[in-house]
Amino acid sequence: MIAEAGLALLWLAASLSLLQLVLGAAALRPGNEPMVGIVRPVAIAQGLLVGLSFLALIWLFLRTDLSVKLVAANSHSLKPWLYKFAGAWGNHEGSMLLWVTVLAVAGAGVALFEKRLRQDTLIATLAAQAVIGLGFYAYILFASNPFERLFPVPVEGNGLNPLLQDPGLAFHPPTLYFGYVGISIAFSFAVGALVTRDVGPAFARAMRPWVLGAWIFLTLGITAGSYWAYYELGWGGWWFWDPVENASLMPWLAATALLHSVTVLATRAGLRAWTIMLAVVAFSMSMIGTFLVRSGILTSVHAFAVDPLRGAFILALLTFYIGGALTLFGLRVRHVKEGSTFELVSREASLVLNNLLLSVILGLVFIGTLYPLITQALGREISVGPPYFNSAIGPIALALAAIMTLGPMLRWRRDELRALSARIAAPALLSAAVLLVVVLLAPGISWLPLLGLAVAPGVAVASLAPLWGRKLRRTPLFTYGMVIAHLGIAVALAGMAADSAFTQETLVAASPGQMIAAGPFNIRFVSAEPVAGPNWTAIEARLEARRGEGAPFPLTPQARLFDSPPTPTSETSIQTLWDGQLYAAIGDGDDQGRWQLRIWWKPFVTLIWAGGALVALGGFLALIGRLRRERRHRPEREAWA
């Protein structure tokens, strides 16, 4: 029953989405103004219905209703409840339902809360959101129905991929989706504003909080995903330039650029067409990411479906939406006015530079991710890995971090070069001093981490500059937000540079009782014991680590074997200290009673994710600050009739 109800709700939501499009399009015609009032409730109802449908799927997973094909294929009655719950989206159909749920809920959010946008633009925005929704409803209903029944009903389910059986599954995919799909709002705003020719500062001020909200989730989702890969995979790395990672990075880069250009549009009425273009590009990157990850053209833990038809379906949707938006852009761009001008030394100019560098990085990631797929289709196998990305992107990212600190120091419209150089003198000196110290104390570090180590402290100090000489109590919250987000970039940069410069790795085959030296630590291999969990058994290495005369602490890496499906995984053990992490993984045993142990000492690696969290926190403060200021300054408007 629940499965049928879920499917019925989904069909209803899809029909409401069609209604939302038709009514919205009709309401935009002159003379049809009375229809305007219906579009908002329809969007809200659509969000509600698809939300209920998603809850129905979660219910089926919690109950392990094996008569549903998806549950039988991906769940198991003996799985811990958290993974039953999160397992609802740990598969292709469920994750697509989550996708469309976030899409519809975001649309409902706009219908509920958006009060600043011109009425006709809002209606056009909701209609555009409905167009996106329709395509993905069709995809789910015709090509990946999550509520399909199975007969005969199996006795037991197949279980969930053990790599996904981690608390990270409950957090990482929904967060990332809120960001990924939340960017659709920016896209729909852009399409709406093109349709009603409403591209201007008021439009930008309305759009900014939505972009900011999606961007915060995207930042959090990427940070969490990176940490998850770091501790789950046991390779000691935190970013692999894997296509699925790039698929989440590309929308983030575009959204970051958009966030900065929308500020120029809101404050100085500049970069109009460019901002619209970025909004289209950002959501296009989300859809390309969905295509890459979900179509099965990549082999990865994220690719659930290996059905060429599904890939073709998403590709068709993607071509339609991106092509449609670009066509609209081409037709309407000459109606978009030129922005106000600015001088070469001005905040606008620095933000243009920020956007150019972010776009170049986006282009490099895009080419590196898609070029191998294209050559593959042409029959030539090449693989593009970390060496390409690091060497091509590293220097530009460092330059971007340095430029990031200039923008907030500059005045809008025009500023003096001499004043600017006085402001950046101290941070620049600090960076030079750090560079000198690192070169003298730790020679032999390759140039990219070395530059990273030097640039990070300068950027950190310079990012605080907007607070210098201001009354801290009277500084607006969004300024704090910007400062903290920029500081977070510096912190993350320091972590990345420290990790690649100073990581020490030890690989040994050791017997219990043996001492292992790993960086500044002495580690005693106490024993290797069998242990068991709710649905797995494991060999656990008991290690005791201490640095110098410090207090010893335990490390217990495991080699697990999950029951259903029977799959070996390795479970790392990580000890976080104030100045870094000690990370241990266990490999195979041999016939002499030895176990392979791989131990990393990673100084200050935690700064990477702390930095990511700071960036998201900064975004959050900026969002609150903007909304509060608007509430205070918004002129009284007539209520919606």
Partner 1 sequence: MKPKNQRLVLLALAGVAVVGAVILAMSAMRDQASFFYAPADVARQGLPLDRGVRIGGMVRRGSLHRHPDGVTIDFLVGDETPATIRVTYRGITPDLFREGSGVIAEGRFRPDGAFTASEILAKHDENYMPPELTRRGMHKTDAVH
Least distance CB 270 / partner 1 (angstroms): 9
Q: Which of 22, 55, 315, 509 binds partner 1 (CB under 8 A)?
A: 509
Q: Which of 167, 308, 554, 568 binds partner 1 (CB under 8 A)?
A: 568
For residues 125 and 127, give the distance between their C-alpha atoms in angstroms, rounded to a whole number: 5
Handedness of CA 403, 404, 410, 413 (dihedral sign): positive
Least distance CB 570 / partner 1 (angstroms): 6
Least distance CB 385 / partner 1 (angstroms): 7
- Ramachandran area for residue 31 (φ above 0: left; ψ -120 to 50: alpha; else beta): left
DSSP 420-437: HHHHHHHHHHHHHHHHHH
Q: Which of 378, 382, 440, 472 binds partner 1 (CB under 8 A)?
A: 382
380 to 74, 291, 372: CA distances (angstroms) = 35, 22, 9
- Judged by beta carbon, residue 351 or residue 498, the one nearer partner 1 is 351
- Judged by beta carbon, residue 353 or residue 445, the one nearer partner 1 is 353
Residue 371 makes contact with partner 1 by CB under 8 A: yes
Number of residues that bind partner 1 (CB under 8 A): 55
- Judged by beta carbon, residue 9 or residue 253, the one nearer partner 1 is 253
For residues 401 and 22, give the distance between their C-alpha atoms in angstroms, rounded to a whole number: 46
Q: Which of 315, 364, 428, 467 binds partner 1 (CB under 8 A)?
A: 364
Least distance CB 311 / partner 1 (angstroms): 13
Token output for 394 = 């590293």
In DSSP terms, 521 is beta-bridged to 518, 547
Interface region with partner 1, contact rule CB under 8 A, candidates 15-23, 214-222, 375-383, 427-435: 375-383
Residue 356 makes contact with partner 1 by CB under 8 A: yes
CB 128 within 8 A of CB 191: yes
For residues 571 and 165, give the distance between their C-alpha atoms in angstroms, rounded to a whole number: 11
For residues 304 and 299, give the distance between their C-alpha atoms in angstroms, rounded to a whole number: 9
Residue 310 makes contact with partner 1 by CB under 8 A: no
Q: What are phi and psi of 56, to 5 degrees?
A: -60, -40
Mapping DSSP to helix (H, G, I), strand (E, B) and coil, where does residue 521 land?
strand
Q: Which of 12, 367, 424, 430 binds partner 1 (CB under 8 A)?
A: 367
- Judged by beta carbon, residue 395 or residue 534, the one nearer partner 1 is 395
Residue 508 makes contact with partner 1 by CB under 8 A: yes
Q: What are phi and psi of 238, to 5 degrees?
A: -120, -5
Residue 338 makes contact with partner 1 by CB under 8 A: yes
Query: Which positions from 388 through 447 interact with partner 1, judged by CB under 8 A?
Result: 388, 391-392
DSSP 124-186: HHHHHHHHHHHHHHHHHHHH--TT-B-SSPPSS-----GGG-STHHHHHHHHHHHHHHHHHHH
Max distance between CA atoms of the chain, in angstroms, equals 86
Residue 233 makes contact with partner 1 by CB under 8 A: yes
For residues 405 and 29, give the distance between their C-alpha atoms in angstroms, rounded to a whole number: 47
Least distance CB 244 / partner 1 (angstroms): 12
* Contacts to partner 1 by CB under 8 A: 161, 163, 233-235, 271, 273-274, 299, 301, 337-342, 352, 356-357, 359-360, 363-364, 367-368, 371-372, 376, 380-385, 387-388, 391-392, 507-510, 565, 567-570, 585, 587-588, 590, 592, 594, 596, 598
